[in-house]
Structure 1
Amino acid sequence: MDWTWFLFRFHGRINRAKLWLSLLVILCWMAFAGMLFGGIRKLLGGPAAVGFDLTDIFAVLDPDTYRSLTRADIVPAAVHGILTCLFAWVFAAGIVKRLHDRDKSGWWMVAFFAVPGLVDQYADRMPGTTLPMIVGGAATLLSLWGFVELYCLAGSPSDNRFGPDPLPELRPSECSGRPTTSPAAWDQHKELEFTPHVASPPLGEAAIGCTSPPAK
């Protein structure tokens, strides 16, 4: 599988399994970066607890985040911000390709991720009590809709405007009548399973194949 395309590119389609895989990759990266970054800070005498979250991207874009920083916090905050942007990029690449699989524009990510994230970041600055509740409820519904749309529902069953179906087509075998994977539909860059090729049949069986029995 082409991991550069899978993790960083925005064109093409991926199915649900690959979207879950991309999320697992991001979580593993965040855990590793948190342990590494925390260990370095502990060696330098700073606090060891360092965590990463995809919603931190909205804190990175919030000017209030930087107003209370000291000189000692500038370098850790910069590293944290760069890594957060990297994780958010990989997440966005997976979401956009999955939206393509659902035959939707990648701009739907604004409704499913950006709007709920911004509402959560700025909810405490909204005036009154009713407005934050209404806006927060709408953002929660958008998040739930996005989760079902992206992680639960199947993609387009055939080619669409964004590319071919990421799952292989099934066609009946000429000999057995059982469904087999069409060789033309095989795409190494879009397959998740790494299964060994089936060995060729023995010479005797290959010779028989689908030929009809000899006439008597």
Structure 2
Amino acid sequence: MTIKHWLLSFQGRIGRQRFWMWNLFYYLVMLAIIGAASQNLFGSFTGIAIFIISAALLMPDLAVTAKRWHDRDKSNWWLLMHVPLVAGRLMTPIGGAETVEPSMMQTAVSVVAIICGLWMLVECGLLKGTKGSNRYGAEPS
């Protein structure tokens, strides 16, 4: 499997190792962005920089996760579990030393995002895929 197919295609299956390799890269990039933002390296463009980098990582994240759902013999509809995660990220305040009480909506979205994130962690990150071929292709090597 080429890197292009791995990160941009919504077809086929991948095993847990490739899923974790992507997630390690993804979260290291996100930590670097947060660190840079906390040091004010982006200046007044912090929000824009975080948005652009997060948007650039969204497509590969969905593609990798789609192939992992396929390995579990589940359709791309399971990618809808990303909606609360993305919404939660968009609702998170960026920068500022003041503490603001989250609204009821922010709290609800955060709770749903945690549930969806944990479900995806178990399904995609911990459970084995389907043995042999399934409707999405051959078992990944």
TM-score (norm 2): 0.71
2:104 aligned partner: 126
- Bigger-Rg structure (1/2): 1
Separation in 1, partners of 2:86, 2:33: 22
- Residue 118 of structure 1 deviates from its aligned partner by 2.7
Cα separation, 1, equivalents of 2:85 and 2:61: 15
2:8 aligned residue = 8
Residue 141 (1) aligns with residue 115 (2)? yes
Instruction: Give the aligned residue type for 1:114.
Output: V
Whether the aligned pair in 2 keeps the contact of 1:26 and 1:90 (CA below 8 Å) is: no
Count of residues paired in the alignment: 131
- Distance, in Å, in 2 between the alignment partners of 1:140 and 1:24 is 19
2:79 corresponds to which letter in structure 1?
M
Of residues 131, 136, 141 in structure 2, which corresponds to 1:157? 131
AA aligned opposite 1:155 = G
Report what 1:94 is aligned to: 64
Per-residue Cα deviation, 1:140-165 (whole angstroms, up to 9, x for no partner)? 33322221101000001011111111
CA contact (8 A) 2:16 2:68 kept: yes
The separation in 1 between residues aligned to 2:47 and 2:116, in whole angstroms, is 30
For 1:84, the aligned partner's letter is S
Deviations 1:26-84 (A, max 9, x none): 2344456677xx4xx9xxxx923x6xxxxxxxxxxxxxxxxxxxxx735x533332211
List structure 1 runs of 4+ shifted beyond 6 angstroms.
Answer: none
Show structure 1 runs of 5+ residues with no match: 51-71, 168-216
Is the helix fraction higher in 1 or 2? 2
Q: Which has the higher contact order (CA 8 A, sep 6+)?
A: 2
- Percent identical residues: 27
Range that drifts further, 18-27 or 148-157: 18-27
Where 2:48 maps in the other structure, the secondary structure is helix
Gaps of 5+ in 2: 93-100
TM-score, length basis structure 1: 0.49
In structure 2, the partner of 1:110 is 80
